[in-house]
Chains A and B, each alone.
Chain A
Amino acid sequence: MESARSVVVMDFADVLLPGDDLFPSARGSGTALLLMARLEEGGLVDRLEEALKAAGGPLTELGPEARRAVVARLEAEQPKLFADVLKPVYLTYYEQPAVVEAIRAIGIPYNATPLPEGYPVEPFDPARDAPQHSRGRWTRTEDVVRVDLSGLDYLRGE
């Protein structure tokens, strides 16, 4: 059972990350507890609730289109707050096991944690990977000379 505060946050997160045939929604991914903790720690839940009200919320009683409209209004009217909330919503979502599974399901190798496994990467193969060009130049110390600054108006007086 979600608390009233969690309902506010997760309704909002579901508008951001509604899910599709493969990826779960924010709520469906299991982010609620962790996301709430992170937003509470940042003092963002009260501010979000207030901002949603000011933008036409709360979301609970609204249909999908109206919810999107409220969130879009919040983003336009309070871009800093929106960005501050969006970041933990995205980061918390993408660390959920269900989301990691979805990433793997689209055919991309993906570890839930960088270590200890790492990723198998092909070693450098000079025949395949080395540049074949002969470009590149550098100037020897003794060959450095004064450049003509007369065309750089903004340097006059320096």
Chain B
Amino acid sequence: MKKPDHADVLIIGAGASGALLSLVLAGRGLKVVCLDQGGWTLPVDHPHFSRDFQFQRQNRWNPEPELRRNESDYPVEGNQSHALMWNAIGGSTNIFGALWPRYRPSDFRKGVEHGLAPDWPVSYSDIDPFYDESDRLIGVSGLTGDRAMPPRSSPYPLKPLPMGPCGRAIGAAFERLGWHWWPMPAAVISEPYDGRPACNGCGNCGSGCPRGSMAKMSLTIWPRALAAGTDLRPFARVERIETDAVGRATGAIYIDRARGERVFQGADIVVLAANGVGSPRILLLSESARFPHGLANGNDVVGRYLQHHTLVAAEIWTEQPLLSHMGNAGAVLSCEFAETDVGRGFVNGFNFNVARIGPAGTEAIGSFTNRPAPWGAGHHAWFRRHFAHGFGAFAIGEDVPQPTSRITLSEAERDGDGLPAAKLTYVPHENDWRMMRFAIERLKDLAQSAGAIDYTINDYCDEDGTYRTPAWHLLGTCRMGADPETSVTNRWHQCWEVPNLYVVDGSSFVTGGVVNPTSTVAALALRAGRHIADGFTELRKATKPIVD
């Protein structure tokens, strides 16, 4: 087996977290190797320049690997929620919406609040400085002064994205209800920034951004991480993490998919950054005599407590044209229902993410609610009335982490290199169902307030009542915690059982909050990177985790 030079730090996964970790660690002079099972998704690969861009979104640009089946993907078995991801340099930032809201202080304290989930071992104030740092690094547009959030330490680096007639109509609908609303913070640049051009409102955010106006990590952070000296290896699919006689990680065996050979990359510290499905999958694949249930899994927590957020949606159309195919997808955020109010009949809360609807074909096939336009003689009249006249509203809520919702290894399916696929099991808690039913009624309120001529609702349940959410957010499966019995890592992402192994990605989350998670993934990555760099001399020799 090939054995390249030993690294100081080996990072597995080149998505948002892996990119930022590489930037921090290589920037501090450490020898960093980063592996990713995928290659580069180049600007010319995106479908934005082709007439068939909407058709491609259903096929080769589909965010669901089970439907896309790229060579770099691995199967995710399961007949419940659909795991969405992009396996390439930059990870899912190649196709994500780049909505960039932050967690709130209470999101970290659900143990105190109701006890259906533990508290995080960190608080908002621990993360806050790193939110600001990542905003500056990545380029975030937004409006400072939102009273639904703690005051920012520094203003948004960039002014808000254009509201347009769509954003203004949405704001007015919330205003009539007396509900909170605010322009959506987004990792999409409203002005030229860091050598990248401002968003030009093309409206095809669903297939990422080849211009680099959205925070596609391969165009934003990776160039700097490479310049800092990171050794980034694409098409490197990790087979397992190896350990020595005392249980420390020694490195990882990966399959060099370009050359068809197996390679062992040794390192003093190994960091998993493969997100909520990939990271537990690799830990479970790394079973050994010493770790018979998978690496760092003596307490059987790895893979459990999978969270996606609760999600229900509406498409709402108005009489007046909104030009909702133009501009960045994210328009307005509402935190009206973010905090727990047991008077609603459940704990936890939800936000509204309100978005523009895309181009004509996407509108016709039922963009967000999968209710296609009518066929026959009425189709064209429907199209005239609906196209560019609507918006999508998503109620995104905090789901209760459950040990039964989990990632395991598939016994039936394998990836292209013969490794067991992931298997996903996810069933909402009764609290989640109650929240979603409540949120659907509020979506109807919003439609009424907007003066809707028509609306459709999506509860993401199939004809059998199975909740089949599009799961962009893959959280909680290697959660951090204060108790080694109930968590995989400590507050610094350091595995309790393997002190030189870290897990830094969405799987580290204890609870999901009510917002898109990537801003928090980025902040946690910067925090973890600094911690590892500051303590590298001691951490590289650590034989037990930090307890504080």
Contact = CB atoms under 8 A, between A and B. Distances in A.
Contact of B114 (A83, A90, A109, A146): A146
Contacts of B162: 121-124
A144 B106 CA distance: 6
B502 interface: no
B244 interface: no
B113 A146 contact: yes
Nearest to A139: B106
A71 interface: yes
Interface residues of B, number: 87
A147 B342 contact: yes
A6 interface: no
B163 A129 contact: yes
Given A86-B375, A140-B105, A141-B105, A119 B55 contact: no
Contacts of B360: 94, 99, 103, 110
Nearest to A21: B380
Contacts of B167: 129
Interface in B60-113: 104-106, 108-109, 112-113
B365 A154 contact: no
A119 B326 contact: yes
Contacts, number: 217
Nearest to B147: A136
Contact of B210 (A90, A103, A115, A131): A115
B468 to A, nearest CB: 14
B325 interface: yes
A148 interface: yes
A151 B380 contact: no
A139 B55 contact: no
Nearest to A111: B202
Most buried by A among B50, B178, B384: B384
Interface string B240-276: 0000000000000000000000000000000000000
B150 interface: yes
Contacts of B542: none
A22 interface: yes
Interface residues of A, number: 66
B364 interface: yes
A147 B342 CA distance: 7
B405 interface: no
A131 B171 contact: yes
Contact of B125 (A123, A141, A146): A141
B379 interface: yes
A71 B113 contact: no
Interface string B181-199: 1110000001000000001
A71 B143 CA distance: 51
Contacts of A141: 105-106, 108-109, 123-125
Given A18-B376, A108-B387, A114-B359, A149 B114 contact: yes
Interface in A81-99: 83, 86-88, 90-95, 99
B149 A135 contact: no
B58 interface: yes
A92 B58 CA distance: 12
A86 B365 CA distance: 8
Nearest to A130: B143
Given A93-B361, A119-B202, A124-B143, 14 more contacts: A15-B375, A16-B379, A87-B365, A95-B361, A114-B204, A118-B202, A123-B190, A133-B180, A134-B147, A135-B148, A135-B180, A136-B335, A139-B339, A155-B347
8 nearest A-B pairs in the assembled complex, by CB-CB distance: A118-B200, A136-B148, A136-B147, A94-B361, A114-B204, A114-B202, A119-B326, A121-B201
